Structure 1
Amino acid sequence: MLIVFEGIDGSGKTTLSNRVAQELRHAGLRVRHVREGGTLASTVSEDLRRFTRDPAHLALTPTAELLLYAAREAQLLEEVTRPALAEHEIVITDRFLYTAEVLARWGRGLPEGVVRPVVEASARGLTPDRVFLMDVDPALARARRRISKILVPKVGAPSRKGLAGAGLQVRLRSGYRTLAAEAPERWTLLENAGVTLDQLVQQVVQEILQARAGAAPSARTGRPPPSSVRSVEEARARFLQHIDTWMTEEPPLAAYFLLGMEGADMMERRKRMAERCPELVAHSLAGCSDEASWQLRRQLVDTAPRQVLESLSQEFADAPEAWALREKLIALYPREVAVSLSGLDSEQAWRMREHLYFASWEGVITSLAGLDSPRAWADRLRWLSDAGGEEALGLENVARTGCRSIRGLDGEQAWRWRERAWAIAPDAVLRSLAGLTSTRSWELREQHVARAPRAVLSTLDGLDHSRAWALRESFGAQCEEVLDSIFGMEGSAAWGLRTALADTWPATTVRSLGPLLQTPRGRALAERLLASNPQDFALLRQAARGAPDTSLGGLHATA
């Protein structure tokens, strides 16, 4: 019996599939999981997986990507899965050829007539007996992935697939749901929200045992739709209702979603979670500079020092409280202290960089982003000389550090570095174009925006330039990062984009308002979207920023 788990990145399918395998073994069944622990049992398949994830392969076309994904699964099927089916009662796989199909059709836009023959040829007639689709709001999936990175930072390059932006996961979710609806006799949709992992494990185990006895998947009833939300005040109350539920059921998620949220009602919840989730509570203080936030940083500095330093946003990175925290942590966390100096050009910052250079040259060089002074270039050239000269920019770690350091710089020296780094870290080169308006920066963006929209759009933040607007408008409704790039911007072009994209990306539309959320026009847009999307938690969160502290007005969520 072949059991498949599918879902978007961060949906929880890997964790669930591994737990289900364990439970079935405890029930006395012979079980083989071909991706146990998150690693494919075929070395060839795992190598293909690493290849498709590598952002250095920016030029990979959708058709070539489809063939590589299909090859990965075909190799696993022939080398591991088919032999395992002959020896075990149950074989479990985390992802199947459905992944290749959904990514190609819904993710990259290839026609079904091109994709299906490739998938069918790779499967050679093998069809899973049961498919469990872990269905989750992409905003929750993204939050869970980020939480894991906050708690255990990952070393290395970002995934190539992530360069497409958040819209990709939304399209993939739609694709999986479409396939599930086409074959309800095989697919079971599981909602990974509002239910514990133990409950999901037991549900799946029971369904697998019933399937072995010939039973069809049990019918699922959807949750009743939530009541309407009529104002930003109600949105704030409803948002806090979610936070209070997660504080019991999934505290890390509750702490994460308080990121940048201001007010005594938000701070009261941070304090209640500070002991259980110190790292995530500290992370949530980014952008907060009131006295209560500084007090909480000082309270958490021993249990979450790295996250406390990372919360020192540039707006208040030069505050006396920030310097006191750096002095306390400089010996133990030199890299994080160095990175927290990003963009600072004061004598105090330069003295600290010099002190930290040998302890964390990477952090020091990264902190020079946006600084084009002779002093900054002297430090960069000193570092590059120590690394082996400009040829060293052909090494991935050196290239990525160098590109972070020249972010926002348009001089000849910066462009020489970009040329050297392109072959090994093209995504980092693209991100280094932040804020640039020179002809060659536009040409580089326009040449590669189709394959790395997220990286390119991130460089347009706040740019009111005709070529910036042309790039934004070229995406239609595919990339929510278009909206991120117009944060707080007024004018007919910005409002036109918001109007065009609001119904596709309601939460990001409201986030793009920034301080405009406090204006009558901004509030009206937010409340229109709330009325039609009361179930959208990300929208509730963004709209909540436009409401006063609920602890002051005694508001309660509408039932």
Structure 2
Amino acid sequence: MLIVFEGIDGSGKTTLSNRVAQELRQAGLRVRHVREGGTLASPVSEGLRRFTRDPANLALTPTAELLLYAAREAQLLEEVTRPALAEFEVVITDRFFYTAEVLARWGRGLSEQVVRPVLDACARGLVPDRVFLMDVDPALARARRRISKILTPKTGSPSRKGLAGAGLQVRLRSGYRALAAESPERWRLLENSGVPLETLVRQVTQEILQAQAGAALSVQTARPAPPPARSVGEARASFLRQIDLWREEEPTLAAYFLSGMEGGDMAERRKALAPRCPELAAYSLASLADAASWELRRQLADGAPSHVLGSLRNAAADTPEAWELRERLIAQAPKAVAESLELLDSEQAWRMRERLYFAASESVIASLTGIDSERAWTERWRWLTDAGGEEALGLEPVARTACRSIRGLDSEQAWAWRQRAWAIAPDAVLRSVAGLTSPRAWELREQHVARAPRAVLSTLDGLDEPRAWALRESFGAQCEEVLDSMWGLEGAAAWGLRTALADSWPSATVRSLGPLLQTPRGRALAERLLASHPRDFALLRQAARGAPDTSRGALHATA
């Protein structure tokens, strides 16, 4: 019996498939999971997976990508899966040829006539007995992936697929749902929201056991949704109710979604979550500079130093309280202290960089983002010389640090470094032109925007000029990041894009308002979207920012 788990990145399919494999073994079945622990059982397939993820392969075309994905699955099928089907009662795989089909058709726009013959030839008639589709709001999936990275930071390159932006995951979700609708007798849709993991494990395990016996079992759905919010005030109350549910069921998610949320009602919940998930509670303090936030940072500093230091951004970056924390944690977390100095060009910041250089030189250099002074370049050259000279820019870790350091710089020296780093870290080079308006910067954006829209659009943050608007408008409704790049911008172009993209990206539209959410026009837009998209949690969160603090009596009301 061949069981397949599918879904977008962060949907929970890997976790669920591994747990189900364990339960089936305990039930007495012989089970082979060909991607147990998240690693493909075929070294060849795992190598192809790494190749397609590598952002250095930015130029990979949709057709070439399809063939590589098909080759990965075909190798796994012939080397591991088919032999296992002859030996084991149940064979489980996390992804099948459906992944390649959805990515090619819905993600990259290739036609069914091109894609299906390739994948059918690779499958050679093998069809899974069951396909469990983990269906989840892409915003929740993205949050869970981010939480994993916060709690267990990973070294190395970001995923090439991630350069396409949030819109890709939305399109992939639609593709999976379309395939499930074509074959309802084989596919089972599991909602990974509002249903505890243990419940899903039991349901899926029972369905597989009963399928072997020739019976069928309907999978339960999530709990009924609460009444929709109609105003920003109701949005804040609904957001807090969901946070309170997650405090019990999935506290890491609750803490994550409190990130940057202001008000005593948010602070109360953040403080309550701190003992259970201190790292994420500290992370959620990002940019907050109120008294309650500083007090919580001091409480969490020894247990979650890197996350506390990572929250020292924007209004919280250059304050007496921030410098006190840096001094307290400099021996314990030198790298995080250095990273917290990003954009700071004061004498105090330079003295601390000098103290940290030998313990955390890469982080010191990365903190020079946007600083184009002679002093900054002297420090950069000192570091590059220690790393082996300009030739070292051909090494990925060095190239990425260099690109982060020169982000926003338009000097000849910065461009010379970009040229050397391009072959090994093109995505980092693209991000390094953030805010630049020179002809070279525009040429680089326009050459590569089709392959890496997320990276390119991130460089437009705050740019309010015709060429930036033309590039934003060229995407239509494909990329959420178009809206992220126009935070707080006013004018006809900004409002026109918000109106055009509002129903495609409601939460990003409200997020793009920034302080404009407090204006009558901004509030009206948010409340129209709440009425049109009543089940969109990400929208609820953004709209909640426009409502007043509800902390008086909040704990009594939610008890």
TM-score after normalising by structure 2: 0.98
Contact 2:193/2:222, CA 8 A, preserved across alignment: no
Alignment of 1:56-67 (within 5 A): 56-67=56-67
Using the alignment, how far apart are the partners of 1:556 and 1:480 within structure 2? 38
Shift of 1:315: 2.8
Aligned to 2:438: 438
The residue identity in structure 1 corresponding to 2:465 is H
Report the secondary structure of 1:188's partner residue.
strand
How far apart, in 1, do the equivalents of 2:188 and 2:278 lie? 37
Mapped to 2, the partners of 1:14 and 1:55 lie a distance apart of 23
Change (3 A) 1:95 1:22: same
Partner of 2:536: 536
Q: 1:225 to 1:198 in 2, by over 3 A?
A: closer
Equivalent residues of 1:314, 1:342 under 8 A apart: no
Partner SS for 1:189: strand
Match for residue 199 of structure 2? 199
Displacement after TM superposition at 1:314 (Å): 2.8
Q: State the alpha-carbon separation in 2 of the partners of residues 319 and 555 from structure 1.
A: 31
1:4 corresponds in structure 2 to 4
Which residue in 1 is equivalent to 2:368?
Answer: 368
Q: Which amino acid aligns with 1:428?
A: A
Partner residue of 1:105? Answer: 105
CA-to-aligned-CA distance 1:264-318 (integer Å, 9 cap, x gap): 0000001111111110000000021001110110011011111000000133311
Within 5 Å, which residues of 2 pair with 1:447-466? Answer: 447-466=447-466
2: CA distance between counterparts of 1:239 and 1:465?
Answer: 36
Residue of structure 2 equivalent to 1:122: 122
Give the counterpart letter for 1:409 in structure 2.
L
What is the one-letter code of the residue matched to 1:408? Answer: G
Q: Distance in 2 between matches of 1:84 and 1:287?
A: 52
Does residue 399 (structure 1) correspond to residue 379 (structure 2)? The answer is: no
Shift of 1:522: 0.1
- Provide the residue aligned with 2:79 in structure 1: 79
* Structure 1 letter corresponding to 2:325: L
Q: CA deviation at 1:215?
A: 2.5
Alignment of 1:142-153 (within 5 A): 142-153=142-153
Within 5 Å, give how 1:127-276 maps onto structure 2.
127-216=127-216, 218=218, 224=224, 226-276=226-276
Deviation at 1:465, TM superposition (A): 1.6
SS at match of 2:459: helix
Alignment correspondent of 1:32? 32
Instruction: Kindly state the Cα deviation for residue 195 of structure 1 after the two structures are TM-superposed.
Output: 1.2
Q: 1:263 to 1:100 in 2, by over 3 A?
A: same
**Counterparts of 1:286-297 in structure 2 under 5 Å?**
286-297=286-297
Take 1:365 and 1:347, find their aligned partners in 2: how far apart are those partners? Answer: 16
- Match in the other structure for 1:505: 505
Query: Partners in 2 of 1:483 and 1:8 — Cα distance?
Result: 22
| Residue aligned with 1:299, SS | helix
Q: Residues 98-137 of structure 1, C-alpha deviation per residue, up to 9 Å, x if partnerless?
A: 0000000000111111111111011010000000000111
Question: Residue 85 of structure 1 aligns to which amino acid in structure 2?
Answer: L
Q: CA deviation at 1:551?
A: 1.9
1:514 matched residue in structure 2: 514
Shift of 1:533: 1.1
Q: Indicate conservation of the 8 Å contact 1:255/1:273, yes or no.
A: yes
Partner of residue 328, structure 2: 328
Contact 1:186 1:217 in 2 (8 A): no
Distance 2:557 2:12 in 1: 29
SS at match of 2:126: coil
Which letter does structure 2 place at the counterpart of 1:453? P
Q: Within 1, Cα distance between the matches of 2:286 and 2:254?
A: 15
Distance 1:165 1:117 in 2: 28
- Structure 1 window deviating more from structure 2 (309-318 vs 387-396): it is 309-318
Corresponding residue number in structure 2 for 1:483? 483
Letter in 1 for 2:96: F
Deviation at 1:552, TM superposition (A): 3.7
Q: What residue in structure 1 maps to residue 467 of structure 2?
A: 467
Q: 1:237, 1:205 → 2: CA distance?
A: 37
Distance of 2:524 and 2:556 partners within structure 1: 21
For 1:62, the aligned partner's letter is P
Query: How far apart, CA to CA, are the structure 2 residues paired with 1:515 and 1:21?
Result: 49
* AA at the equivalent of 1:153: P
Deviation string, structure 1 residues 461-511 (Cα, Å, up to 9, x no partner): 010121111110011101000000000000000000000000010001000
**How has the CA–CA distance of structure 1 residues 502 and 553 changed in structure 2, closer, same or farther, with 3 Å as cutoff?**
farther
Moved more, 404-413 or 194-203: 194-203
Task: Say whether the 8 Å CA contact 1:35–1:41 is kept in structure 2.
Answer: yes
Name the amino acid aligned to 1:109.
Answer: G
Deviations 1:422-451 (A, max 9, x none): 000000000000000000100000000000
Instruction: Output the CA distance in 2 between the equivalents of 1:232 and 1:556.
Output: 21
| 1:557 CA drift (Å) | 9.5
SS class of match (2:4): strand
Query: Structure 1 counterpart of 2:236, which letter?
Result: R
Could you say if the C-alpha distance between residues 343 and 166 of structure 1 is closer, same or farther in structure 2, counting changes exceeding 3 Å? same
- Cα deviation digits, residues 240-287 of structure 1 (max 9, x gap): 000000000010000000000000000000111111111000000002
SS at match of 2:312: coil
- Aligned partner of 2:189: which letter? L
Calculate the TM-score normalised by the size of structure 1. Answer: 0.98
Q: Please report how far the alpha carbon of residue 216 of structure 1 lies from its aligned counterpart in structure 2 after TM superposition.
A: 3.9
Residues 482, 326 of structure 1: CA spacing in aligned structure 2 closer, same or farther, 3 A cutoff? same
Letter in 2 for 1:52: T
Q: CA deviation at 1:222?
A: 7.2
Q: Distance in 2 between the 1:172 and 1:557 partners?
A: 40
1:55 maps onto 2:55 in alignment: yes
Q: List gaps (5 residues or longer) in structure 2.
A: none
Counterpart-to-counterpart distance in 2, 1:407 and 1:249: 40
Deviation per residue, 1:407-428 (Å, 9 max, x gap): 0000000000000000000000
Look up the match of 1:342: 342
Distance of 1:351 and 1:121 partners within structure 2: 64
- Give me the whole-angstrom Cα distance separating, in 2, the residues matched to 1:482 and 1:544: 22
| Other-structure match for 1:385 | 385
Note the alpha carbon deviations across 1:216-258, whole angstroms, 9 max, x for none: 4527667656433211000000000000000000100000000
What amino acid is aligned across from residue 401 of structure 1 in structure 2?
Answer: T
Cα deviation digits, residues 62-96 of structure 1 (max 9, x gap): 00000000000000000000000000000000000
User: CA shift at 1:192, angstroms?
Assistant: 0.6
**CA shift at 1:214, angstroms?**
1.8
Does 2:355 align with 1:355?
yes
**For residues 72 and 237 of structure 1, what CA distance do their matches in structure 2 show?**
47
Offset of residue 532 of structure 1: 1.3
SS at structure 2 position matched to 1:551 = coil
CA distance in 1, matches of 2:557, 2:491: 35
1:189 is displaced (CA, Å) by 0.4
Decide whether the 8 Å contact of 1:483 with 1:498 is kept in 2: yes
Count of aligned positions: 558
Please tell me whether residue 16 in structure 1 is matched to residue 19 in structure 2.
no
In 2, the alpha carbon distance for the partners of 1:555 and 1:155 equals 40
SS at match of 2:404: helix
| CA-to-aligned-CA distance 1:125-175 (integer Å, 9 cap, x gap) | 000000000011111111111111111111011000000001100110010
Q: Are the equivalent residues in 1 in contact too, given 2:6–2:99 (CA < 8 A)?
A: yes
Identity %: 81
